[in-house]
């Protein structure tokens, strides 16, 4: 069955656009670039004959159980980090894995971190190279940069299967290089950089219906050897209007060395 959803694409401008976080010194305040709400057709990875794989598409959705039952507190991070490292070493052939960030998102107006509803990838080339230095220090970053490294995101539903605002991905082969734009992230104390995606009717969107807490999406967000960065966004859609569970997820950013 064909499904549709609404996504918010970025828009080409004659100047560099930016997200300003904590704008005006108000915690959680955000000023963002212009976005264009667009209806897109979705392929369900559960039923499509051309499901995505990390080797071909830089994104894969797979079963992965966890021993963590509560991501709200306690000592879960060490347990979860070990699980993610083992998976990335096994499935991607990573030699070294650094898990450096976990973000829990809740689709609620009062939530501190809500689902990201703009089509993007998390790092530009400059942003990734700076983050490598931030994480490892200049000397170790130089050593890693001489080989093959990448930033990889692991995304998981928590508490309930996803019924609304699932995570969607654009198949990289359907993106024209001119669809990408650079976006600054302006914080009170630093500036980062990500990639935004401009709409194109050739884009092929894919998601996995009703993803469960025992499934993860593993996707590339920067690779210094040229593997595609995966454009992604929360999708404005509802699977079953009779279900009222709140969409909750955890995304984990990792740095891998092959």
What is the greatest pairwise CA distance in the chain? 55
The mean per-residue pLDDT over the stretch 174-189 comes to: 94
Residue 226's CB is within 10 A of a number of other CB atoms, namely: 7
The token duo for 213 is 């807490």
Distances (CA, A) of 12 to 124, 170, 184, 191, 207: 16, 18, 14, 21, 26
As a whole number of angstroms, the distance between CA 76 and CA 68 comes to 6
The mean per-residue pLDDT over the stretch 240-247 comes to: 95
DSSP codes of every residue in 11-47: ---SS-EEEEETGGG-TT-EE---EEEEEEEEEETTT
pLDDT averaged over every residue in the chain? 95
pLDDT reading at 199 higher than 80 = yes
pLDDT reading at 2 higher than 80 = no
Domain annotation for the chain: domains and CATH numbers: 3-257 (2.60.120)
3-state secondary structure of 149: strand
pLDDT reading at 67 higher than 80 = yes
Residue 187: per-residue pLDDT: 86
How do residues 116-156 score in pLDDT, each as one tens digit?
A: 999 999 999 999 999 999 999 999 999 999 999 999 999 99
The mean per-residue pLDDT over the stretch 2-7 comes to: 93
Per-residue confidence band for 102, with pLDDT thresholds at 50, 70 and 90: very high
pLDDT reading at 83 higher than 90 = yes
As a whole number of angstroms, the distance between CA 231 and CA 169 comes to 6
Percent of the chain with pLDDT over 70: 100
Per-residue confidence band for 1, with pLDDT thresholds at 50, 70 and 90: low
Place of tokens 């979705």: 42
pTM score: 0.94
């Amino acid at each position: 069955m064909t499904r549709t959803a609404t996504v918010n694409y970025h828009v080409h401008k004659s100047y560099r656009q930016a997200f300003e976080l904590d704008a005006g010194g108000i915690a959680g305040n955000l000023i963002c670039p212009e976005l264009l709400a667009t209806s897109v057709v979705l392929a369900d990875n559960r039923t499509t004959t051309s499901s995505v794989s990390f080797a071909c598409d830089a994104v894969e959705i797979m079963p992965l159980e966890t021993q963590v039952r509560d991501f709200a507190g306690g000592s879960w991070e060490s347990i979860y980090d070990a699980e993610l490292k083992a998976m990335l070493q096994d499935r991607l052939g990573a030699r070294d894995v650094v898990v450096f960030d976990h973000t829990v998102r809740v689709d609620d107006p009062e939530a501190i971190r809500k689902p990201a509803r703009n089509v993007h990838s998390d790092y530009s080339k400059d942003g990734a190279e700076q983050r490598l230095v931030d994480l490892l220090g200049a000397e170790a970053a130089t050593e890693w940069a001489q080989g093959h490294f990448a930033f990889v995101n692991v995304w998981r539903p928590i508490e309930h299967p996803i019924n609304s605002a699932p995570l969607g991905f654009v198949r990289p082969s359907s993106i024209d290089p001119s669809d990408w734009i650079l976006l600054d992230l302006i914080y009170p104390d630093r500036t980062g950089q990500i990639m935004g995606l401009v709409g194109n009717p050739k884009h092929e969107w894919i998601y996995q219906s009703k993803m469960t807490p025992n499934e993860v999406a593993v996707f590339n967000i920067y690779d210094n050897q040229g593997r595609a960065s995966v454009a992604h966004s929360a999708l404005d859609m509802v699977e079953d209007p009779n279900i009222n569970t709140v969409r909750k997820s955890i995304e984990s950013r990792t740095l891998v060395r092959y």
